[in-house]
Structure 1
Amino acid sequence: MSNVLLNRMKSARHVSGKKQQDWSQDAFTLTTRLLQVNPEFYTIWNYRRNILTKGIFHNSSPEAINHILTDELAMTMSALKSHPKVYWIWNHRRWCLENIPNGPGKQQEADFVGWKQIAWSKELFVVEKMLDSDARNFQAWDYRRYVLAGMPTPRPESAELVYTSRKIEANFSNFSAWHQRSKTLTSLWEHGKLDEAKSREQEFELLRNAMYTDPNDQSVWIYHRWLVGTDGSAELLEREIAAIQELLDEQPDSKWCVESIIRYKHLLLKKSSSADVKALSEECRGLLGRLQEIDPLRRRRYQDLELEL
């Protein structure tokens, strides 16, 4: 059976007008069987879409096409349960969503909900279930951003802020949730939908709680660097250095505390008067020496950083 299918694949890949191209239901069924064995075979996914668009869809009504694509989404959902990080499965779901007809009929009322809107709304629920199973699945997070951007009726960005808060509170180590939060906040700030100064302070408060909960969590510190960069003023840098120093006093072996203080002092160097530069440089050198003791495996990296001062 597989050899038969592979022979069909070879002919289907040459779409330059060969008469032997097979867009039949039988060929479609064979692609299902092969993809159940190997969902990473992207050529089969491409062939499957060709069968749909060049064969099955031609004699199908919009309602029938909607049913077919709904079945496709169900098929890929089953595949994702066993292979949640295979890109080609997520890619096929994208294609299905983009090809669902608008129907049924013409919009008559303001609260009209067609097939497309139902499918996209349901998809957001599906991806949330996937993230409940694995909150760090970067493919699922990327797909979530795709769904949010493409929904016929946009979802309020404030709701996404609530969603990321829930994910972060469940696990401070969820870098994907922090990343999604940074994108959401940036958009809200740019469109004037959120008080930037006030919300930034709220974010720093959230981060301090996370830092004290687990000072060695990389995700928290990376987000902190992004947040500091949204302001970057000398006053803010000095404040955050002082706050991190307090934590370092309690956690003297925290590599991330020391690295962050060095980073922010280095930024201060660019904003300081010549009288302060020498003192800040010496402080950074001392901290880099301390890092070499805390993290000897990266000693050469810290030595190179010292040469830049």
Structure 2
Amino acid sequence: MHGRRANRAQEEEQARLQKVKELIPLVNNLIKKKKTNSYDKEYIDRTSLILMKCPYLQTLWNYRREYFESIKPEYLKVKDQIEDEQCDMTKTPEELKKLLKEENSMVEDILKTFNKCNELWFHKLWIIKYCLKDNLIDMKDLLNELEYCKSSFYKDDRNYHCWNYRSYIISCIHIVHKKLNNINIENKDNEKYIDETNQSNESNESNESNESNESNPSNQSNSSNQSNGCFNFDVYETNYKLSKMLIENNFSNFSAWFLKYSLKKSIIDINNELNLIKNAIFTDPFDQSLWEFYKWFLFQNGNDKEEIFFILLNNNSIYFFFPNLINLNISKCICYDNNNKEIKGSWDKHIITINNNINDSNNKESFVFSFKFDKNDLSLGNIPYIKFILYYYKYNIYIPHQIHYEQNILKDIYKLYSNSSKEYNKYEHSIICQIDITKISKCEHFNILLDENQYNRKGIYQFSNNILDNNDKNKICYNFYKYINSANIMLNISTNMDLHLLNLELEQINELLLLENDCKFALYTKFEILKRIERFEEALKVLDYLKHVDFLRLEYYKDQETEMLIKKRIHDYYETNEKGNNNEILDLTHLNIRSIVYPLMIEAFFIPKIDLSNNSISEWFSGKGTLNFLYNLRDLCLNNNQLKNFVLLMKNLYNLKLLEKLDVSNNHLVDMDQDLDQYEFVILPSLKHINISNTNIALLLNEKYKHKNSLNTYNIVRHDNTVVLSKL
């Protein structure tokens, strides 16, 4: 099959079967002993012989683990047991430690032959955990395990079992580090207490105290040595050296590149890293691992912390828009005035997980949070400056010392070594947001905070004039768009990049494409850069070419094309308005749009009328549809889409308080067996006109319910072939 000879495979299979036949009676006998809890040394030695030939027998590894658990009390004796004359003095913690080191050595010997056996790596980690629980290993042993992993990578640098094991050892080091740190703090507190006691006691008592301290120097030095060894360990430096070594040996190693994701900026040189990855790319442009790191370096590096997208003011409320879902701890967030005095108010959030329940309170995450002031001080101009401290929870995979120990295989070690009360808020971060009220625009409804210096540092957009003094409505809306768009661009490029550097990278990718014009990784990276620097026509051409080069991802590229067309039309809308051509409606028709998920299209926030007819839009079950975030929308056309549930649609538009006109004609909206006498949907406060022509609702109202003149507080207006729900 596939051009390979099968004879050798059959011979290997026969040899394997013969080996299994030899092992079956031995294994069955040991399983019987396991069931009777017989843990004689003779049987343990037999398991060693079997496991060296076939280490995949999990039952035998369990048998060995049960054996070590059973002998633990004999070796870890308390003081009273040691004084017992019948006690075996040869069984000491040191002897148990020796046994476990031999066990670890046996596992490492078997790993030389079976280096990708999951049972072996699991047992090796179990040995470490067993020893940690009873202080049978120290920091030196853990660091030796890291060295073992390093030596294993010389033989197989892509062994994911070893990479996984190494990550657990790193976690163990940090857990022990935390414990030793706590011990140091306690020792310092004790020393301080002793010093204070010595000063108040008589000199002879002081001498006795000093003698007692000197009587047990070994424990003090041992703790101190472990502590120092722990503090000398730098995970960032260790990861950097390992990744450097592995990449120099073989740059086609995704795991080695992934290690670089968590490195501190102080360790790496930006230019050197960029040159390293580009040299590797030009050597082998078809290696995906290289391009993945390159894209991360250009677009994500340094963006692991949450940032505010933009801020709006409306009806005495401040709205915070975030680019990602964020779990804001609203019970702790606080607002201050310019005198550092707390300002009282109430917090709310834009509901995300709807699931047919608009009052779903289980999900604490959202894209938008709002703070409503108790007093109307902002509109009265009594407060010129406010400061918010926003607290949010985030588990950051780019910070190695914040691994989620309590929820993985090390949770039992974590509970023994950590103080849960101190660790409660370890994933809580904060954002300090300072708002100059004078920089908030003056509009009819939603006013945006405009900080001219926020995005200029990356050369993304500079305001051509004073936006606050400009009376031209088109110019103001154009600047609003550019501000939100600039925020979106900034949040999607790395902190060490700007538009000028992206253009330089684009030139080098073009050079590579002259040599390898069908390299899909280079083409897609080029597309990502063009998208960020808003060269839409070129980006669309690259997507067209990608459809032919990488046809297996055709549907994905079609979705990307749709997103680009949406962005282009929004950009063109504002460009024409900025030039003085009044174009009230944003035309997004015939783009084959299937869904619009936040933050796509959020740049259209200040556009009052949007036409999305003749697409393939359906209801949004997650509550993440961007339309519900366009609070400023007045007129929405969804004619001729794939809307099948009108009730769910209205739930997903519940935030559009200013929406006056909605067109959902030429959609199903309901099933034909729907009871319209009991039919209800969310009522938007300003919505006066709903066009339901050529829908199942209209068909039912014209036939089965033709006597009906109102539906859910709306009047039914029938005229020729049109059916409208109206409050006019």
TM-score class normalised by the smaller sequence:
0.7 to 0.9
* Mapping of residues 12-161 of structure 1, within 5 Å: 12=34, 20-55=36-71, 58-59=74-75, 60-100=91-131, 116-151=138-173, 153-154=229-230, 155-156=233-234, 157-161=236-240
Aligned to 1:109: none
Residue 250 (structure 1) shift: 3.3
Normalized against structure 2, the TM-score is what? Answer: 0.35
What letter is aligned with 2:60? I
> By how many angstroms is 1:57 displaced?
6.1
1:166 equivalent in alignment to 2:245: yes
Higher strand fraction (1 or 2): 2
Mapped partners of 2:99, 2:138: distance in 1: 13
What's the counterpart of residue 203 of structure 1?
Answer: 273
- CA separation in 1, counterparts of 2:46 and 2:293? 47
2:516 paired with 1:251: yes
Report the counterpart of residue 16 of structure 1 in structure 2.
none
Q: Relative to structure 1, is the Cα distance of residues 115 and 305 closer, same or farther in structure 2, using a 3 angstrom cutoff?
A: closer
Cα distance change of structure 1 residues 223 and 101 upon mapping to structure 2, 3 Å threshold:
closer
The alignment covers a number of residue pairs equal to 275
Deviations 1:98-130 (A, max 9, x none): 3337999xxxxxxxxx95334223222222111
Query: 1:292: which partner in 2?
Result: 547
Q: Is the 8 A contact 1:103 1:116 kept in 2?
A: no
Aligned partner of 2:645 in structure 1 is none
Question: Does the 8 A contact of 2:55 with 2:119 survive in 1?
Answer: yes
Contact 2:104–2:127 at 8 Å: present in 1 too?
A: yes
Deviation at 1:182, TM superposition (A): 1.6
Query: Per the alignment, do residues 5 and 40 of structure 1 end up closer, same or farther by CA in structure 2, a change over 3 Å counting?
Result: closer
Determine if the alignment matches structure 1 residue 215 to structure 2 residue 285: yes
Measure how far apart 1:285 and its partner are. 2.3
After superposition, the C-alpha distances for 1:201-225 in whole angstroms (9 at most, x for unaligned) are 4322221111112111111101112
Q: Which amino acid aligns with 1:292?
A: K
Q: Using a 3 Å threshold, how does the CA distance of structure 1 residues 24 and 145 change in structure 2: closer, same or farther?
A: same
Distance, in Å, in 1 between the alignment partners of 2:517 and 2:26 is: 65
C-alpha root-mean-square deviation of aligned residues, in Å?
Answer: 2.9
1:262 aligns with 2:293: no
Q: Do the aligned residues in 1 keep the contact of 2:157 with 2:246 (CA within 8 Å)? A: yes
Q: Work out whether residues 161 and 181 of structure 1, in 8 Å CA contact, stay in contact via their aligned partners in 2.
A: yes
Q: Which of 521, 538, 548 is 1:283 aligned to? A: 538
- Residues 176-229 of structure 1: CA distance to partner in whole angstroms, max 9, x if unpaired? 11112223x1xx35xxxx17xx73343222211111121111111011122221
Per-residue CA distance 1:149-168 (angstroms, 9 max, x = gap): 33463422324312211211
- For 1:141, give the aligned amino acid: W
Moved more, 215-224 or 95-104: 95-104
2:525 alignment partner AA: S
Give the Cα separation in 2 of the matches to 1:144 and 1:42: 22
Matched to 2:249, the amino acid is A
What amino acid maps onto 1:161 in structure 2? Y
Measured after TM superposition, the shift of residue 242 of structure 1 is 3.3
Deviation at 1:296, TM superposition (A): 4.0
* Equivalent pair of 2:246/2:253 in contact (CA under 8 Å): yes
Choose the corresponding residue for 2:256, options 177, 184, 198: 177
Unaligned runs of 5+ residues in structure 1 are 14-19, 105-113
| Aligned counterparts of 2:562 and 2:134: Cα–Cα separation in 1 | 65
Residue deviations 1:60-113, cap 9 Å, x none? 311111111111111111111111111221121112223337999xxxxxxxxx
The farther-off stretch of 29-38 and 58-67 is 29-38
Q: Give the greater-gyration-radius structure (CA).
A: 2
Name the TM-score, length of structure 1 as normaliser: 0.77
CA distance in 2: counterparts of 1:298 and 1:101, whole angstroms? 48
Q: Percent sequence identity over matched residues?
A: 27
Deviation at 1:35, TM superposition (A): 1.8
Which amino acid is 1:181 matched to?
K
1:107 corresponds in structure 2 to none
Q: Conserved in 1, the CA contact under 8 Å of 2:261 and 2:301?
A: no
CA contact (8 A) 1:62 1:101 kept: no
Amino acid at match of 2:512: L
Q: Structure 1 or 2: larger helix share? A: 1
TM-superposed deviation, 1:56: 6.4
Would the aligned equivalents of 1:97 and 1:119 in 2 still touch at CA under 8 Å? no
Q: 1:10–1:224: structure 2 CA closer, same or farther, 3 Å change rule?
A: farther
| 1:66–1:101 CA contact under 8 A, matched in 2 | no
Q: Give 3-state SS (helix, strand or coil) of 1:215's partner.
A: coil
Distance in 1 (CA, whole Å) between partners of 2:247 and 2:169 is 21
Q: Partners in 2 of 1:89 and 1:127 — Cα distance?
A: 14
Gaps of 5+ in 2: 1-22, 76-90, 177-228, 303-492, 565-728
